[in-house]
Amino acid sequence: MDLAFDLVEYVMLFALAMGVFFALAAPSQFSLYLVALISGLFFGRALWKWKSKGQVPVFIVIAGFFLGFSIGGFFASLRVLFLVFFLGILAGYFVHRSSGLALG
């Protein structure tokens, strides 16, 4: 077992668990969509930050988080949830790309 090779899978499983936790912690659909937007902004920044280092591992982690988030948010519309999450990713990516924010 090579930890460096399997690290993406472990991070994806952690992101899946965090997605389920965040979705179950949201008391209403509005707050669930708000958490999806904020999570999308975070992952958009992650895509922008690691754009030159290979984006496949980032996409795997994003997919794991969204899978967990959609499992935990079973009471919400999956289409709206995906749309809000995807728009958050786009907004986070393009805000950091256009303004060159250096937050770390």
- Domain spans in the chain, listed from the N-terminal domain onward: 27-99
Rounded-to-integer distance, Cα 10 and Cα 41, Å? 22
- Lowest-pLDDT range, 34-48, 72-86, 87-101? 87-101
Token pair 């997919």 in the structure block, residue: 63
Reported as a pLDDT band with limits 50, 70 and 90, residue 46 is: confident
pTM of the entire predicted model: 0.84
Assigned token pair, 25: 């912690």
Burial of residue 54 (CB within 10 Å: 0-12, 13-18, 19+) is exposed
Q: Report the pLDDT averaged over residues 25-46.
A: 93
